[in-house]
Amino acid sequence: MKGPERRAQLIEEATKLFSQKGFNGTTTKEIAASAGINEALIFKHFENKEALYRAVIHEYVERSQRQGWHDGIRDCMRRNADADLFRKLISYVIEAYRAEPVMQRLVLFAILEGYHEEADRACHLPKTLQREVIQYIVRRQGEGKIAPMDPAAAFQILFGMSRSYAIGKYVYKLKEMKVSDASVEEEFTRFAVRALVVESKRKRRHP
């Protein structure tokens, strides 16, 4: 097997094991055994286990559609399209877990083990974008368009409920999660609009 092919194989095997046992619970010996090679061969491609871990994260970020999704979220905020933004965030979170459940397990392990920088790099909604959304909520609250509440709590209405659903369905694989993603996205969006958008509340009181 050529160098690039071997490197790709090691990243693939490491991804599986890191997602199952976390960084601390996975050894390079186990990764080598899973790949069917001698452990020493790992260190011909990666300086150490940390370098392999970073390569796993980098590979995921490179192949993901994150940037396109992020651009779509920012476009909604530029247009002050509250309902579109809510729908985009909710569908984006669910899609991330549906498309890459193995990597989302790895991210959860990274957070639990204290590898916050690595977790944020791989997270489908990094902290920088989370802050942008919270700042948008603050601005729209100032304009009287979003209900007054803690903006971080308002963000969690969008992010938290969709993430909880996606983890249950695609990470925990709960059998009772039989509802379709499209239906969940629509219902969650309706709920978010009713809970957050001031203008929507006025229309309901004065049809």
Fold of 3-62: Arc Repressor Mutant, subunit A (1.10.10)
DSSP label at 36? T
Residue indicated by tokens 């609250």:
141
Nearest alpha-carbon partner for 161 in 90, 65, 86? 90
User: Cα–Cα distance between 46 and 61 in angstroms, integer?
Assistant: 18
In terms of phi and psi (left: phi > 0; alpha: psi -120 to 50; beta: otherwise), the region of 114 is left
Angle at 68 between CA 65 and CA 71, to 5 degrees: 145
Find out whether 102 and 173 touch, Cβ atoms under 8 Å.
no
Identify the pLDDT of residue 65: 72
Has residue 63 got a pLDDT over 90?
Answer: no
| pLDDT tens string 133-158 | 999 999 999 999 999 999 999 999 99
CATH architecture classification, 65-205: Orthogonal Bundle (1.10)
| pLDDT tens string 3-49 | 899 999 999 999 999 999 999 999 999 999 999 999 999 999 999 99
DSSP label at 149? S
* Stated pTM of the model: 0.87
| Domain ranges within the chain, ordered by starting residue | 3-62, 65-205
